[in-house]
Structure 1
Amino acid sequence: MHMNKNPIIFSDFPDPDVIRVKDTYYMISTTMHFMPGGVILRSFDLIHWEIITHVFEELDNTPGQKLEDNLSIYGKGMWAASLRYHKGTFYVCFVANDTRKTYLYQAEDITGPWRKQNISGFYHDCSLLFDEDDRVYLVYGNKEIYLTELDEDLTGPKRNGLHRMVVKDSEDIRLGYEGSHLYKINGKYYLFFIHWLSNGTGRRVEACFVSDSLEGEFTGRDILDDDMGYHNAGVAQGGIVDTPDGDWYAMLFQDHGAIGRIPVLVPMHWENDFPVFGIDGEIPKQIEVKSTRAAHVYKPLTESDDFFYKPDDKGEVSLKKVWEWNHTPNHDLWSVTERPGALRLRTGQLSPNVGLAVNTLTQRMTGPACEMSVTVDGSGLKNGDFAGICALQGCYGLIGLTREEGKYYLVMIAKERNPEESIWGEEGGDKKPGREFERIPFLDNKVTLKVQADFTDGADTAEFYYQDKGQWNSLGIKHRLYFRLDHFTGCRVGLFHYATKEIGGRADFENFVYDSKE
């Protein structure tokens, strides 16, 4: 039997929740500020996954979500969704940390259409439970975990319904219980959490509490404390699921530096009606699960793109599901049909840096290493425009074509980490221009650019290249990448175009090539 590597995906799919419907597994992951958001993946063996849909194309279209007036929602947006299937309907529930609202989406088909509504209140890291008596509950919180019964139309707390604190963490912690997941299994209620202790191993651990009723006492303990030998990065937070054969697994995540938070599949079993994670307390680095559809061929989680798209019957174009915009896009300013074989980006506002560039098109980077290249046609650039390819995160790096007084230059720009900055980044630093490390004159207005990223054992670097006469030439520095809470996501590759002096310019991107170095 072929064994697979664990962690199962070397890319940023944090806060997983997983369910099984008949022979099919579905997993949702946090997408924060990226749009479309609420990515849902499908699998038939819990190991190999493909993106099948996003729950929403846009959320509330606030100025920050649209990057208007140099406002952003980096590190906010959609967090830690709960995915459930009940009586023929799929449910996705989550909060957005910029709007401070709780959202509930419903659909009869996993690919939609999804109906959107709000649940009054704000429920951090919430988990839905549909009980057999048709009562519905949310469990949520940080350090203090609360259980709240919802009304029948799921719009808010039920009047005179159950509301109580069910678990409270101790004082000796760096991060209190959160990332709640609530299940009813064989008549008992199980609550799973992540927390981060100050003592012991000093890393994230997984905990579980159990009760015979929602009114009764929940008792429990830590059930997993393992870093798989990787830099004391504990594996924790996520959902559990059973196979058709009755085996059980937990889908958790592990911090892996600048690549982000990556999914880990943990075998589990039950002893005396309590879950036991791992094998002798450890997570196997090789894993195999029987597939329910062994012949299925999975679509890749990252892809190259020639940008040849045909509109559908409604005249609309849907990009490949691997793409997500850095925020809600301005659809008037991008096209893949205006010039077939090219992604055309136009500018509609001035931006100080690539982070605040509207319509940056992104894909997740993959480990242990990857390289991405694209050809940029800058014949339509205005003076002060920048267009190219970037490693998108708070401490971003980029290589791009720019135009100054009618002449073209290649530049490598980066935001370096200030050692005195907190993990949340520099106050106001997201609105400053990046540092230009190298600039060279370039005689042509068309150039092929490349970014190479290395995440091997936490190397976390990006290097930038341009092609000249068939040769790749390095530009600028080897740039250090960081996972920080200013973006709260793994590093992505982005295709960008932004204006610093005048709007109305255009840039065309051709032949995007993605090469994973597994």
Structure 2
Amino acid sequence: MHMSWPRHTWSRRRALTAATGLAAGTLLPPVGIIGAAPARGADLTTAAAFTNPVIWQDFADIDVIRVGDTFYASASTMHYSPGAPVLRSYDLVDWEIAGHSVPVLDFGAKYDLNGGRGYVRGIWASSLAYRPSNRTFYWLGQIDFARTYVYTATAAEGPWNRLTTISTPYYDAGLLVDTDDTLYVAYGNSTINVAQLSADGRTQVRTQRVFTTPSSVGTLEGSRFYKINGQYYIFLTRPANGQYILKSSSGPFGPYTMRQVLLDLRGPIPGGGVPHQGGLVQTRSGAWYYLAFVDAYPGGRMPALAPVSWTADGWPVVQLVNGAWGTTYPRPDVPPPPRQVTPMTGVDTFDGTALKPRWEWNHNPDNSKWSVNNGLTLRTATVTNDLYAARNTLTHRIQGPTSTATAELDVSAMRDGDRAGLALLRDSSAWIGLKRDGGVTRLVMVNGLTMDGNWNTTGTGVEVASARVSGSRVRLRATADIRPGAARSATFSHSTDGGAFVRLGPAFSLGNDWRFFMGYRFALFNHATQALGGAIRVLRFELSTP
């Protein structure tokens, strides 16, 4: 989880130099910028190919595992709740959201937007593992540099329950279930440590420094911990342009030697960053893959997949296409899936009585103020003129490279002072929606919602366009272009008569500052500025691509 490194240090190429006599490791010559084993060109243009990014939605700091013939991945979600989504795939290419490892961010009042804010806190790089001995999934992550939390479930979709808290904060942790069933955690920033947990996973037995990053490399973090062919490996990222690996033949506590896996590698998203900070996974047939993410703001950090081979002496090599992370590769050779995964785009009519796992709240919701019953009801939960302080804002990731969100609302139960609508939500935001004042409901487009670098509100929004509303139902639409380096433009439109959509307001320029980390999201909201009691009903939401 790269939290504090300025952009200029991320993009600067650094030469690696040999080092000897390190306190906890030895630097070896790099495995050539991962071009040491170029990919087979003829194999990369076959019809059975996939295209990167495999998920053009914001899923960062990926940990990926295989259980049987099913692959699972976890990702960072920071202040969004529920946190730590569990993704599921049968081929490493097509993914669905199965559930969330952290059902509620019960780490303090700031995660409730109650007396504080949890923006850019919460769920950072964490770890997902499966323990065959008790057929249980484990999620492990530190919160607020204070302590580590462990959650478990017997199924990826949950229910997930907290197993324990550990007083040591395992920063950017990687959890390993060893072949003898012992649990180990690799963690740290530059100084890399390994901890051993008790047999029940509830307490720390020991922890030890195993590696100190050479100054010629800089910062290493984002640990992923593996045991492969009897060797122990810690996979590490150099934010945000490099990947390195440590290897020990003497056990989980080292000593470790290090090699470079990639540095300043061209990625598969035009204008995007270097693929990094992900995990290694092996198919049942024995093939290895690296699932990384690519910085691609304003949309966020997008997962990309590449095949991996191994040198004779046990070091991984990412397969390249023309010296870069490939835009396409042959699809993994895996068994036919038992079913098709649930698309991350499409229509949600909020059928049933629970939200689908594609949705995450901005901070924890007030559960007394919303409900799902063949439609989503959002009752006002906060009296504020600041959307960033309003509880029960429901968010949905944007699909890249461009996509459109359309929401159908029944606004007949709004009250004076209420504000409701569809937003593009980040530290610089805009929205289209309804304002009800003096018994009159107006349709408006608002921009100028801003935060500073400490995530305090610096602008609550300026109304820049308005239109009349006829009837109690309205369809709101936001279209976003999240291609990095492009215009990064978003537009809003509406339909109040069931007919064609009409543009409202000027184009909104999506900000691409990396420091908020999470990308833009579509967001449904309803808050009061005078008194609680109003409500809206969301009848339908659709995420579509051109």
TM-score by length of 2: 0.84
Tell whether 2:345 aligns with 1:308. Answer: no
Summarize deviations over 1:45-80 as a string: whole Å, max 9, x none.
1111111222232131632222224x3212111112
Q: What residue number does 1:256 align with?
A: 296
Q: Which amino acid aligns with 1:342?
A: G
Rounded Cα–Cα distance in structure 1 between residues aligned with 2:377 and 2:159? 28
User: Which residue of 149, 154, 170 corresponds with 2:215?
Assistant: 170
**Which residue number corresponds to residue 492 of structure 1?**
521
Which aligned pairs between 1:83-232 and structure 2 lie closer than 5 A?
83-86=128-131, 87=133, 88-97=135-144, 100-116=146-162, 117-158=164-205, 161-170=206-215, 173=218, 176-196=219-239, 204-213=241-250, 214-225=252-263, 226-228=265-267, 230-231=270-271
Q: Does the 8 A contact of 2:297 with 2:514 survive in 1?
A: no
Secondary structure at the counterpart of residue 78 of structure 1: coil
What residue number does 1:274 align with? 315
Mapped partners of 1:307, 1:216: distance in 2: 51
Q: Is the 8 A contact 1:137 1:149 kept in 2?
A: yes
Name the stretch that deviates more: 47-56 or 124-133: 124-133
CA gap of 1:362–1:215, structure 2 versus 1, over 3 A, is closer
Q: What is the CA distance between 1:142 and its match in structure 2?
A: 1.3
- Counterpart contact for 1:370–1:454, Cα < 8 Å: yes
User: Quick check: 441-450 or 385-394, which moved more?
Assistant: 441-450
Alpha-carbon shift at residue 192 of structure 1 (Å) = 0.9
- 2:536 corresponds to which of 493, 504, 507: 507
Alignment of 1:370-449 (within 5 A): 370-415=403-448, 425-427=452-454, 429-430=456-457, 432-449=459-476
1:367 aligned residue: 400
- CA–CA separation in structure 1 for the residues paired with 2:366 and 2:441: 27
Residue number among 22, 25, 29 corresponding to 2:68 in the alignment: 22
| Letter aligned with residue 320 of structure 2 | I
| AA of the residue aligned to 2:448 | K
Residue 283 of structure 1 pairs with residue 325 of structure 2: yes
- Which of residues 352, 356, 365 is equivalent to 2:385? 352
C-alpha distance in structure 1 between counterparts of 2:524 and 2:505, whole Å = 18
Measure the CA separation in 2 of the matches of 1:232 and 1:74: 24
Aligned-residue identity in percent: 34
Shift of 1:482: 2.5
Farther-moved stretch of structure 1 (204-213 vs 146-155): 146-155
Is the Cα contact below 8 Å between 1:352 and 1:432 reproduced in 2? Answer: no
Give, as a single letter, the amino acid of the residue that structure 1 aligns with 2:517: F
Q: Does the Cα contact within 8 Å between 2:52 and 2:305 map onto a contact in 1?
A: yes
Contact in 2 for aligned 1:102/1:122 (Cα 8 Å)? yes
Contact residue 193 and residue 206 of structure 1 kept, 8 A: yes
1:56 paired residue number? 102
**Structure 1 residue ranges (4+ consecutive) displaced by more than 6 angstroms after TM superposition:** none
Aligned to 2:23: none
Root-mean-square deviation (CA), in Å? 2.2
Alignment equivalent of 2:489, drawn from 439, 449, 461? 461
Say whether 1:80 aligns with 2:125.
yes
Distance 1:292 1:425, change over 3 A: farther
Q: For residues 457-507 of structure 1, give each alpha carbon's deviation from its aligned partner in whole angstroms, at most 9, with x where no partner exists.
A: 543221111114523222222111124456421211111101112221111
Report the Cα distance in structure 1 between the residues aligned to 2:474 and 2:179, rounded to whole angstroms. Answer: 61
SS of residue matched to 1:433: strand
Q: Does the 8 A contact of 2:383 with 2:530 survive in 1?
A: yes
Work out whether 1:32 is the aligned partner of 2:78. yes
* One-letter amino acid matched to 2:460: P
Q: How many residues align?
A: 489
- Report Cα offsets for 1:320-379 as digits up to 9, x if no partner: 221222221211111233xxx432111132123222221122211101111111122222
Q: 2 CA distance for matches of 1:488 and 1:15?
A: 11
Looking at structure 1, the residues matched to 527 and 171 of structure 2 have their Cα atoms a distance apart, in angstroms, of 35
